[in-house]
Chain A
Amino acid sequence: MNPGKASGPAVRIENLDKHYGTFHALRKVNLSVGRGERIVVCGPSGSGKSTVIRCINRLEQHDGGRITVLGTELNDDVANIDGIRREVGMVFQHFNLFPHMTVLENCMIAPMIVRKLPRTEAETTARRYLEKVRIPEQAMKFPGQLSGGQQQRVAIARALCMQPQIMLFDEPTSALDPEMISEVLDVMVTLASDGMTMICVTHEMGFARRVADRVVFMDGGEIVEEAPPEEFFTSCRNDRTRQFLSQILGH
């Protein structure tokens, strides 16, 4: 398998079904994400947003339908899963930095042990991306010594150090204090302008307007609406979407 060389969309999700026990979390979700495309996923709590993007790198196992990432179908083949995870970076709501390693080590470990990069090369890459997320001076600190916004930027740098082709964001700013949100969003905007394929679960509608190619609205485990941002915000067809938008934009 050689993810990335094949042509076609970056991610194709067909008729995705997912149960947690008896709870039907995803119902026949269909989504196709082209290379270089930026998708924003939004929807009320519990609608299945996290579940969808966690299925893309197999943090959750789906039980119906097909997921194809960079031309490789996700199934029980461990080699496929590992190959896809190398090419798909993920940023979590709660950062999930490794607290026992310095910022620099956080960024170097996966390239070194997964991509087998030599130490010096891994360090150069790590410093370059720390520069890019604008915290080169924090390299020798431990995550616990940084603010939330700084930690999330380190988490983005850590994912980028693997040189992924696709980046997944699961509510990257919802655990942050308001004054730190913009520093993280700025980094994400830069990333988008570099042409990265991005799937972002977020309620930052300003961000969606600015960078998204498409906004996807989910409710009750289904994709209810899917449209380019200007159309999505001005003329959405669905009642649930309208209600949701009025709630988060309303005041």
Chain B
Amino acid sequence: MEMVVVAPPAPGKVEDLKRRFFATPLQALLSLMSLAIMAFVVWKLLDWAVFSAVFTTSGGPEACQAAAGACWSVIAARWRIILFGLYPFEEQWRSALACVAVVVMTVLSCIPAFWTGRRIALVWGAGTALYYVLMKGGVLGLSYVGEEAWGGLALTLFIFVTTCLIGFPLAVCLALLRRSELPWISRTTALIIDGVRSLPLISILFTFAIVLPFALPQWLVGDKLYRVILGSALFFSAYQAEIVRGGMQGVPAGQEEAAMALGMSYWQRISRILLPQAMRNALPATINQFVISFKETSLVVIVGFFEILASGNAAYGTGEWRFAYVEVYAFIAFIYFIFVFSLSRYGAFLERRMSVGER
């Protein structure tokens, strides 16, 4: 006969709870009151979001507005605008595939097995090329869609990823230049970094999108989208450069001396000894910077791009769904959360991985 052993509740836990929250009558009262408030809030939220909510579009906006809970029908009716913006309706599968391409590219380049120069270049090259061809078309029988029609999540992801792809190497270069032994190089770099950091992102985006075309020769202007990406990459790199520099300062001078004494060249010392250790030091702040940049992509709306937040505005702003803005924003917040949360979890994974051998 088999014995089923039911583990008694760990005595330590109950004791611990008692000691922490119910030590005195006053403390017990406060604990119970907080518990009641939390339960109330959670119940209200659940009731609004799930139990009394409307999920189908069958009743139309009117039935939905009459309901006591959330009107998720607006998402069911308008998700394509939120995710793809003004992209032509029949071609939106391309935009969806392009999103997938960017996400796959990002995930692949997060996997340590891809961290060799050739593989990472391959992944990024293929990813961005695929995105560009899918979105823009004009080849392979895909109809042409200009950058001004790109929008929604597809645009947000593209701006974020390209900002990081251009901004990160630029940041490393700036950080290296800033610690140059030649004063005129390090001072000039410091001036550039501090100059960019002292400007608000909005003014940089505005300058790159609107003002730059007047200053540049026609053949150099390019599409507004790429100018905006360059501006935001510049802004990103100025902050990230300081983060990388901080990481470098945490690497003892003896490390470079040891590498020099072994005969390593400047670039070998930088790439094999200094940067790996500096990036490990700078990792938490770097992930933070990535998260901030992801959210700052929403600022491109001021130069006329419909990234996901602006598309959301358009999704409820057209009349019949006007009342359902909370649901739309909740949905967009959820999408932001998914990306930002994965990013932080990935940061935590990297920290664990890199802390091997540290003591």
* B-binding residues in A (CB < 8 A): 57-59, 82, 85-86, 88-90, 92, 94, 96-100, 102, 109-110, 113-114, 141-145, 155, 158-159, 162
Complex partner residue of B255 from A58, A96, A110, A141, CB under 8 angstroms: A96
Complex partner residue of A89 from B255, B257, B261, B359, CB under 8 angstroms: B261
What is the CA–CA distance of A101 and B225 in the complex, to the nearest angstrom?
42
Residues of chain B with a CB closer than 8 A to A141's CB: 357
B263, chain A: closest CB distance, angstroms: 4
The contact sample of 18 A-B pairs, CB cut-off 8 A, is A57-B261, A82-B265, A85-B260, A85-B262, A85-B263, A89-B262, A90-B258, A96-B252, A96-B258, A98-B258, A98-B277, A100-B276, A109-B262, A113-B268, A114-B263, A141-B357, A142-B357, A142-B358
Residues of chain A with a CB closer than 8 A to B261's CB: 57, 59, 85, 88-90, 159
What is the CA–CA distance of A85 and B252 in the complex, to the nearest angstrom?
20
- Which residue of A88, A94, A100, A109 has the most chain B CB atoms within 10 A of its CB atom? A100
Would you call B357 and A100 a contact (CB within 8 A)?
Answer: yes
Q: Which 6 A-B pairs have the closest CB atoms?
A: A142-B357, A96-B258, A110-B262, A144-B359, A90-B261, A96-B254
Complex partner residue of A158 from B257, B262, B263, CB under 8 angstroms: B262
Would you call A96 and B257 a contact (CB within 8 A)?
Answer: yes
Complex interface residues of chain B between 275 and 295 (CB less than 8 A to chain A):
276-277, 280
Residues of chain A with a CB closer than 8 A to B201's CB: none
B6 within 8 A of A: no
- Whose C-beta in chain A lies nearest to the C-beta of B357? A142
- Whose C-beta in chain B lies nearest to the C-beta of A54? B257
Would you call B356 and A142 a contact (CB within 8 A)?
Answer: yes
Would you call B280 and A92 a contact (CB within 8 A)?
Answer: no
Question: Interface 1/0s, chain B 346-359, versus A by CB < 8 A?
Answer: 00000000101111
Residues of chain A with a CB closer than 8 A to B299's CB: none
What is the CA–CA distance of A90 and B256 in the complex, to the nearest angstrom?
13
Would you call A86 and B263 a contact (CB within 8 A)?
Answer: yes
With A100-B276, A142-B356 already in contact, the answer to whether A113 and B257 are too (CB < 8 A) is no
Residues of chain B with a CB closer than 8 A to A142's CB: 356-359
What is the CA–CA distance of A210 and B23 in the complex, to the nearest angstrom?
70
Residues of chain A with a CB closer than 8 A to B166's CB: none
Residues of chain A with a CB closer than 8 A to B276's CB: 100
* A-binding residues in B (CB < 8 A): 252, 254-255, 257-265, 268, 272-273, 276-277, 280, 354, 356-359
Report whether over half of chain B's contact residues are helix, strand or loop; otherwise say mixed: helix
Would you call B262 and A162 a contact (CB within 8 A)?
Answer: yes
Residues of chain A with a CB closer than 8 A to B264's CB: 110, 113-114
Residues of chain B with a CB closer than 8 A to A159's CB: 261-262
With A100-B280, A114-B268, A142-B356 already in contact, the answer to whether A59 and B263 are too (CB < 8 A) is no
B300, chain A: closest CB distance, angstroms: 37
What is the CA–CA distance of A94 and B257 in the complex, to the nearest angstrom?
11
Would you call B263 and A82 a contact (CB within 8 A)?
Answer: yes
Residues of chain A with a CB closer than 8 A to B252's CB: 96
Would you call B277 and A92 a contact (CB within 8 A)?
Answer: no
Would you call B255 and A98 a contact (CB within 8 A)?
Answer: yes
Would you call B257 and A99 a contact (CB within 8 A)?
Answer: no
Residues of chain B with a CB closer than 8 A to A158's CB: 262
A106, chain B: closest CB distance, angstroms: 9
- Whose C-beta in chain B lies nearest to the C-beta of A98? B273
- Whose C-beta in chain B lies nearest to the C-beta of A144? B359
What is the CA–CA distance of A92 and B359 in the complex, to the nearest angstrom?
20
Residues of chain B with a CB closer than 8 A to A90's CB: 258, 261
B267, chain A: closest CB distance, angstroms: 10
A41, chain B: closest CB distance, angstroms: 17
- Which residue of B254, B262, B273 has the most chain A CB atoms within 10 A of its CB atom? B262
A18, chain B: closest CB distance, angstroms: 17
What is the CA–CA distance of A110 and B293 in the complex, to the nearest angstrom?
38
- Whose C-beta in chain B lies nearest to the C-beta of A161? B262
With A96-B257, A100-B277 already in contact, the answer to whether A145 and B359 are too (CB < 8 A) is yes
- Whose C-beta in chain B lies nearest to the C-beta of A84? B263
- Whose C-beta in chain B lies nearest to the C-beta of A158? B262
Residues of chain B with a CB closer than 8 A to A96's CB: 252, 254-255, 257-258
